[in-house]
Every structure is written in structure tokens, then in C-alpha cells.
Amino acid sequence: MSATPRRTLGLIFLTVFMDIVGFSVIIPLFPHLLDHYVRAEGTSGTLVGWLCSAAEAMGGDTVFKKTVLFGGMLSALYSLLQFVFSPVWGSLSDRVGRRRVLTFTLGGAALAYVLWIFAAQFWVVVLTRVICGLLAGNIAVASAAAADVTEEKDRTRGMAVVGVAIGLGFVLGPVIGAVGSDVRLAHGPADGPFGLNPFSVPAMISAGLATLNFLLALFLLPETLPPGRRSGEGRPSVLDLVRVRSAPVRRASWANLVYQVAFTGMENTIVFLTFALFAYSPRDNAGLFLFNGAAMIIAQGLARRLVAKLGHRRVLMGAMTLSAAAFALVSFIPHDKAGPGDGSVALFYAGLGLISFATGLVLPSISALVSLYSDPTEQGRNLGILRSAGALARVVGPVVAALAYFHFGTHIWVYLGGALLMIPAALIVRSLPDPQPRG
């Protein structure tokens, strides 16, 4: 790979990394958001009160469950908008270029985070999440830019760059958010919707990163899609996942959807499980998330070599088989509180580490497959469809897993369900054709 594509991949890495860090800063703040805005606004006739009532109706009969479902609904709103708009931004980037779309979406995110700094009322917080969700399809655009500057034999490497950036962002963002929340700016009761709040410092961090990211894209990121390779066709739609012209792209996107329903369900229930089994504190969970992130990043670093030896489909099927075994392994841990010397902690870390490692192989490999199935003029749209499938999984997986966990009172069925979902995902991958080299 020449110096110019390598430099461009480095800039794409920074762009995705800072975007994900800025987005994920809010994740550890969800319980405190609920507490603050309920106390500030009350639950009668307010948006935060309506969301609390919705969480109770979904089974939030305790403060803990209500808080979890509250955070899940905010995350689901973001993911639902990403599901709708990923094909839109991807398709638009096929027509006008990657840099223009990335600059616009990153600039919009920066403005949303500035608004969050002054969110004295909860509806302003929700508005910022809506704006960020509308613009979140830029990850598909960044993936398409990585595909533009890599040759077919290096495609998995390009997708791994994006995957590592996402993984690192989701590891560091919550840590930065938790640390930033300890710093409070002076603020009093708000007379209107705008004013400082207890989360203004984390919001400032997100706004600063997003502004830097915008400037990076504006002044340093080159255009990766020349005018001669652009497409003037195609109207993106929420139905693209079922009616995309390329059957391999459609089937790969469905495999991604099924796999990520299981994975995101695990992500959403992991803090319940560590609390129930090991009485983990937030600091203990932070260590677990770092461990999982490291396993995923190591796998993404190995993905290109494994694909070169085995091919994309074999790597995907092997990773899904490994993931099925790891889900089953975690399900075998007794659901009552484990003792310190009974091996449950080691079994738990082994299972979660293997799931994260398998996911680190799946994500760049399936992105590379979709890219290789796609005509150069449809990279953005088809990778947007793939990302859209993943976003839909982040709507379905966490909600279904949380409700199942609360209903049965144990993690066993959630993780057995994850293991069983690997079967249709692997069967879909098995039916995929090998990508054909383009002349």
C-alpha cells in the first residue's frame, strides 16, 4: 500500500475514532440523566416523565430496571435513526463524494453537542440524540472511503481500520464520560430550556472532539471517490435491506443483522449479569469492557491474515461457530451468586473474551465481503445498508435481551438464545458466493 492510501486510512481512523468517542461519552451518564431531570422537571406532563412511564410499562418495576430500560430507549432511538439514514448518507456519498458528506455530518454533530452543553431541560437532550442519530450514517461513508483507497486484496485491512477505531472509541468514550461527569460547572435552576447542567463538562468534551473532527475532515481528509466513479442513480430507502439489487449484499446484511442481535443483546445484559453473579462495581465493569475491547481489537488485527489464508466465508463461519460455543459457555454459569473460588469468574471472562474475539473477526470480514460484492459506484449505498442492518440489531437486540433477562430472572436463556442465533447466521454466510475479482 502506498503512502497516500496509508495516510488516508490513518485520517479515516481518527475521524471514526473521535466520532465514536464523542457519541459514547453519554453512555455511563444515563442513570444520572434520569435522576437529574426527574428531580428538575418532575414526572407529570414532561417528556422525561413519559419515558419513565414507558419504562414501567415495559417491566421496569424497580428503580434499577427502570433506569436500564430508560437508557435502552434512548439508545434505541439513536439506533433507529441510524438504521433509516445509513443508506441515505452512503448513497449520497456515492453521488457527491465522501468528503463532502463526512464534513457535513461531522459539523452537524459538533453543533448538536454544543446544544447538549446548554440542555437545561430533558427535551433538549433528546433533540441532540435525534440530531446525532440522523447523522450517524457517516460510519458507512467512512467505510466506503476506506474501500475506495484499498485494493481488493487489502479490503479486509481497510475495514479493520474502521472496526478498530469503533472498538477503541466505545472503550474510551464511556471512560472519558465517567471521569468528565465528576467535574461540575456552577448552575442553578433553569428558567427555560437552555442553561448549564450537571453534564455540561462531558458535553463540552464531545463538542470539542466533534469540532476537531470537523476541522480534520474539512482541511486534511482528501476526497477518495473521483467524479468519474460516482453514481447519479438510486434513491435510498428504509426498505433497501430487503430490496437491494445485489442478492449477496442482501444476504450478508441479514447475516450481520442476526449476528449483531445476539451480540448487542449480550452487551446490554452484561452489567446485570456481573452485578448478579459477582457484585461488580462500575470500576470492575470498566476493567471488563477494556478486556473485551482488547480481545476485539486483537482479532481485527488478525482478520486480514486469516482471510488471506482461509477466505472471507470460512473466517466468518469459524468466528460464528466460536461465538456460539462462547455464548453457550457463559450460559452454563449458575445464575445464583458465584463464589470467589469456584471458577465462575474465569469461565465468564473466557466466554466474553471469545465472543468479543469472534466479533472482531466478523465485523471487518463481513464489511469487506459487502464491499467486494459492490460496484465502485455503489460502495457507499451497500455499506450503508450493512450498517443499517447493524443499527436495526441495536434496536432489537438490547430490548429483547433485557426483557428476556427480566422475565426469566436469569442470563441463561439470553445466552442460549445468542448461541442458537449463530446457526441461521452461519447458514446464511455458507450460502454466500466467493467474491469475484474485478477487471
Domain that holds residue 381: 238-439
Q: Is 437 inside any structural domain?
A: yes
pLDDT mean over 378-393: 87
Shared-domain flag, residues 433 and 356: yes
Shared-domain flag, residues 290 and 371: yes
Shared-domain flag, residues 210 and 266: no
Q: Is 75 left (phi over 0), alpha (psi -120 to 50) or beta?
A: alpha
Q: Which three-class secondary structure state does DSSP give residue 182? A: coil
Shared-domain flag, residues 162 and 196: yes
Q: Residue 432: its pLDDT value, please?
A: 93
Share above pLDDT 90 across residues of the chain, in percent, rounded to a whole number: 31
Q: Is 410 inside any structural domain?
A: yes
Shared-domain flag, residues 249 and 197: no
Q: Is 77 inside any structural domain?
A: yes
Q: Is 228 inside any structural domain?
A: no
Q: Which residue has the higher pLDDT, 347 or 241?
A: 347
Nearest by Cα to 375 from 209, 234, 210, 167: 234
Give the domain CATH number at 95: 1.20.1250.20
Shared-domain flag, residues 132 and 14: yes
Whether the predicted pLDDT of 149 surpasses 60: yes
Per-residue burial over 281-320, b if 16 or more Cβ lie within 10 Å, else e, is eeeebbebbeebbbbbbbbbeebbebbeeeebbebbbbbb
Whether the predicted pLDDT of 4 surpasses 80: no
- Mean of per-residue pLDDT scores for the chain: 84
16 to each of 9, 143, 145, 216, 389, how far by Cα in Å? 10, 9, 11, 11, 19
Picking from 189, 223, 257, the residue at the C-terminal end of a domain is: 223
Q: Is 267 inside any structural domain?
A: yes
Cα–Cα distance measured from residue 313 to residue 237, given in angstroms and rounded to the nearest whole number: 28
Shared-domain flag, residues 264 and 140: no
Q: What does the block give as the cell for 270?
A: 452484561
Cα–Cα distance measured from residue 251 to residue 282, given in angstroms and rounded to the nearest whole number: 39
Shared-domain flag, residues 213 and 285: no
What is the pTM for the complete model shown? 0.82
Nearest by Cα to 9 from 218, 156, 206: 156
Q: Residue 237: its pLDDT value, please?
A: 53
What's at 180, amino acid-wise? G
What's at 14, amino acid-wise? L
CA angle 282, 283, 289 (to 5 degrees): 85
Picking from 158, 190, 223, the residue at the C-terminal end of a domain is: 223
Residue keyed to cell 477503541: 168
Q: Which residue has the higher pLDDT, 205 or 402?
A: 205
Q: Is 299 inside any structural domain?
A: yes
Shared-domain flag, residues 273 and 305: yes
Q: Is 233 inside any structural domain?
A: no
Q: Is 232 inside any structural domain?
A: no
Shared-domain flag, residues 91 and 166: yes
Neighbours of 179 (CB within 10 A): 14
pLDDT mean over 219-240: 74
Per-residue model confidence as pLDDT tens digits over 40-79:
888 787 888 888 787 777 766 666 667 767 777 777 888 8
Per-residue burial over 3-22, b if 16 or more Cβ lie within 10 Å, else e, is eebeebbebbbbbbbbbbbb
Q: How confident is the model at residue 334 (pLDDT cuts 50, 70, 90)?
A: confident
pLDDT mean over 274-297: 80
Per-residue model confidence as pLDDT tens digits over 161-206:
888 888 888 778 887 887 777 777 656 556 668 888 888 988 999 9
Cα–Cα distance measured from residue 164 to residue 431, given in angstroms and rounded to the nearest whole number: 28
Shared-domain flag, residues 95 and 182: yes
Shared-domain flag, residues 93 and 206: yes
Decide: 416 and 262 in contact? Cβ < 8 Å: no
Picking from 194, 223, 252, the residue at the C-terminal end of a domain is: 223
Cα–Cα distance measured from residue 193 to residue 336, given in angstroms and rounded to the nearest whole number: 45
Q: Residue 239: its pLDDT value, please?
A: 56
Q: How many domains does the chain have?
A: 2
Q: Residue 110: its pLDDT value, please?
A: 94
